[in-house]
Structure 1
């Protein structure tokens, strides 16, 4: 009998959860969820699964047929693609077009939901960076970026400026946001950010040491908040550059920590 790193024994009754990504070494969900299982006395474990895009559907379909697997967490780059592999989608998924978690339902079907945005905003507020009434710029219109954009608008930002190098993806996101929050979102033609209170990187740039900056913090007003959703490394190149210029920085782990309560409720963990 082998235990997982937090000391709970893994037996034939242990329930399984998986987190899917490519790459996978940077994921932090197991380091937060497994201690939660242990604190609550729940016989379950979350494990990382390296799923390359070409194999995603095969992996998800296989996991959906594992009878003691209760849920999947989804990270880069699968949040948009995994939506079509669910039987049902929550309202947030329909709005933002991406999912970051799937749950097995009582009838055997799978429900997709997305807590990235609400978790990001909860993390911001918890760190003292209230978005209400602020000018915010967001770089990255993918799965996480879309969810964060919707949550920021829900939280009452005055204006949201969004950039993505994929202009079709950017246009589609702005159209979806305008349908729910008319006139509050602006599409940027480049990653040149100025006159904002909060600047957010929602791209994968920063996962690797040689990645270029997603945007330069040089033109941001003094005292701006620069937020990154990348969790490992904790101090991304962007955050180091921003701190060197005197900006306040907000680390990626706050987004995941802000989702813990939502995950607990979503999976019925008591």
Structure 2
């Protein structure tokens, strides 16, 4: 990656206090990113290593080369969130205490979303490095007269997300949270001016899946995730304890997750392996 080794010696991450690598997938100039940067920088040494532009829904896509540019907050990378983590932890800012990814404008809820989210994938990449990580996202309900992308334009609306992220960042490592957890996936409701602080609820990812595909018969397929509409209408069966239910009810959802894929014993599959290749 061009210039990485040269920039690694610039001392961007100071060691006097908790040092944090901050990334996202909306791009380094996104309002949620700046809201989180400002909130954390009040008490931590924060260095941005974030995509130059929007990299939403790229998952853990990785590049072989990515140009790096100096930025007033740290570094902007012509690449994906996973690129930013590898570049940051290997070359630009290798001695950080933790990684935070966010604050994403748009929730990352449900088991099926985790693999496609660039925000969450950055935290997963960090977990493979053994560095504690928090993925932080804001639930923007959408609907109504104001289009989804025109909502959550003020840093103050990210207050529930930035406050909860800072709290966990200050306390989770010393509390031993990351001894059994690879990363935390945090989703917070939007904060209105007079809203009280949203409480934290420890959750598990919902397993509800409602993707649809419609073929117009003329070579075009339209894909739609119906979950968001159902969340706005409170028309989804997720029980208490799931991430979606918590956020819709005004709580900050925090799911403790592991990065390596887990395996389970499977007698039927063991039997097939034992019978191979004699039965072919």
Same fold (TM over 0.5): no
Q: Give TM-score scaled by structure 2 length.
A: 0.27
- Work out which of the two has the higher radius of gyration on C-alpha atoms and give 1 or 2: 2
